[in-house]
């Protein structure tokens, strides 16, 4: 998750004591004093920059879509908010300015959002990938493992060396599940496929990401994947060395590496944010844990690059449909880990709940989760 599964909170060196709350309206201008009040004021806070080409930009563009589809909504948006008491202060300021829906768009904002929600029962909160609910706080995310399996299939069809490199922020369960899903997808079309993993220890460090990518390419990988906040560094380094890449989080990553682009798993948060805003405005909002999949309109496969043959596009699309129909399950046994231990027995199928406990890497993945 960012896909955010449970992981240690990160500390970003960001000055927030003088954060300015930027009000964005449909026309991009502040409301005139004599204009009608907004139909709804929505606050959203981000852990990073909304131009990161990844996690934060996907959320920001979801809000832009919401504004486009629901004229009259006003947005208060703040970037670079640490996962700390600063997040609470930012949310409190948003509420003082009239926000009735707050999107706390980072895993580490969950407890701050719960604290603020308790103090303001008339305000609704939404949190991506959270694992706790409150009467006025809901959560949302999606099964990314299915999407990574499809990206693995595409990588397996495009590789010439039978090797991929995977740059991952942290060895947490849901990320390991994504790596394993990618690898299983690749092996479904290329039984010789090998996935090498490097953990950077942080969600955003272009220097570490470049070093890891170069090291993996030097070891023979000709396809790169990543689970970090911004995929830009990985895809650009890969393209400079003549390798392919698959992206994550944001649908528009292709522009950063057009020649080496295969495809990507992306979040299209706009339709879901429209749903949240409408529910708040018409009084039908309720606290729930929303968990989508590749059939959902907010989890999409990004456009394929020009180097990808039509036959590969058709094969991936057919597999996606098989997932939707229940005919293809990613973690169906037998599956061994990279130490030879049987992890999923023949006929057994892992569930979404199992992904949160995964502490192993699949057979053929080079790397250690701990």
Would you state the pLDDT for residue 34? 54
Read out DSSP for 296-348? Answer: STTEEEPPPPTTS-HHHHHHHHHHHHHHHTTS--TTBSPEEBTTS-EEE-TT-
Instruction: Output the CA–CA distances (angstroms, integers) from residue 118 to 78, 135, 270, 343, in the order listed.
Output: 22, 9, 27, 41
Per-residue pLDDT reduced to its tens digit, 163-174: 999 999 999 999
Residue 29 banded pLDDT, cuts 50, 70, 90: very low
Q: What DSSP element (H or E) covers 153?
A: helix 144-158
Per-residue pLDDT reduced to its tens digit, 305-361: 999 999 999 999 999 999 999 999 999 999 999 999 999 999 999 998 999 999 999
| Contact between 59 and 44 (Cβ < 8 Å) | yes
Q: Answer yes or no: is pLDDT of 143 > 80.
A: yes
Instruction: Write the DSSP symbol of residue 67.
Output: H
Would you state the pLDDT for residue 306? 97
Weakest mean pLDDT among 28-37, 80-89, 309-318: 28-37
**Nearest-angstrom CA–CA distance, 284 and 290:** 15
Q: Answer yes or no: is pLDDT of 28 > 80.
A: no
Q: Enumerate the CATH 3.40.50.2300 domain ranges in the chain, comma separated.
A: 22-142, 144-267+297-366
CATH code of 22-142, in short, is 3.40.50.2300
Would you state the pLDDT for residue 341? 98
Percent of the chain topping pLDDT 90: 88
How many angstroms separate the first and last alpha carbons of the chain?
18
Q: Which one is the CATH code of 144-267+297-366: 3.40.50.2300, 3.40.50.10790, 3.40.190.10, 2.60.40.10? A: 3.40.50.2300
Would you state the pLDDT for residue 30? 46
Q: Quick one: average pLDDT of 105-132?
A: 98
Q: What DSSP element (H or E) covers 138?
A: strand 137-142
Would you state the pLDDT for residue 23? 44
- Strand pairing class (101-104; 40-45): parallel
Per-residue pLDDT reduced to its tens digit, 192-224: 999 999 999 999 999 999 999 999 999 999 999
Instruction: Write the DSSP symbol of residue 358.
Output: -
Residue 36 banded pLDDT, cuts 50, 70, 90: confident
């Amino acid at each position: 998750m960012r896909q955010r599964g449970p992981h240690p909170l990160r500390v970003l060196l960001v000055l927030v004591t003088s954060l300015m709350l930027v009000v964005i309206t449909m026309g991009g201008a502040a409301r005139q004093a004599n204009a009608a009040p907004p139909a709804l004021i929505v606050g959203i806070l981000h852990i990073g920059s909304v131009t990161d080409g990844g996690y934060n930009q996907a959320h920001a563009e979801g809000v832009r879509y919401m504004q486009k589809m629901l004229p009259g909504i006003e947005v208060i948006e703040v970037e670079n908010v640490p996962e700390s008491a600063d997040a609470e202060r930012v949310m409190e300021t948003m509420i003082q300015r009239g926000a009735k829906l707050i999107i706390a768009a980072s895993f580490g904002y969950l407890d701050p959002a719960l604290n603020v929600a308790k103090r303001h029962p008339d305000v609704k909160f939404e949190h991506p990938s959270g694992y706790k609910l409150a009467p006025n706080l809901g959560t949302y995310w999606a099964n990314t493992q299915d999407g990574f399996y499809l990206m693995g299939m595409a990588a397996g069809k495009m590789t010439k060396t039978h090797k991929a490199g995977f740059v991952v922020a942290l060895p947490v369960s849901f990320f390991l599940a994504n790596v394993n899903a990618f690898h299983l997808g690749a092996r479904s079309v290329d039984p010789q496929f090998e996935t090498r993993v490097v953990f950077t220890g942080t969600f955003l460090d272009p220097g570490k990401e470049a070093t890891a990518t170069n090291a993996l390419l030097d070891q023979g990988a000709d396809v790169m994947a990543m689970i970090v906040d911004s995929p830009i560094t990985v895809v650009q380094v890969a393209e400079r060395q003549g390798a392919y890449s698959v992206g994550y989080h944001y649908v528009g990553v292709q522009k950063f590496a057009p020649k080496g682009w295969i495809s990507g798993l992306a979040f299209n948060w706009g339709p879901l944010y429209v749903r949240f805003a409408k529910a708040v405005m018409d009084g039908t909002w309720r606290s729930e844990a929303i968990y989508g999949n590749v059939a959902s309109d907010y989890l999409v496969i990004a456009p394929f690059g020009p180097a990808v043959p039509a036959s590969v596009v058709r094969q991936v699309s057919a597999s996606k449909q098989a997932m939707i129909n229940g005919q293809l399950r990613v973690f169906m046994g037998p599956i061994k880990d990279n130490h030879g231990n049987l992890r999923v027995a023949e006929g057994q199928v892992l569930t979404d709940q199992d992904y949160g406990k995964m502490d192993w890497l699949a057979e053929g993945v080079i790397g250690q989760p701990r």
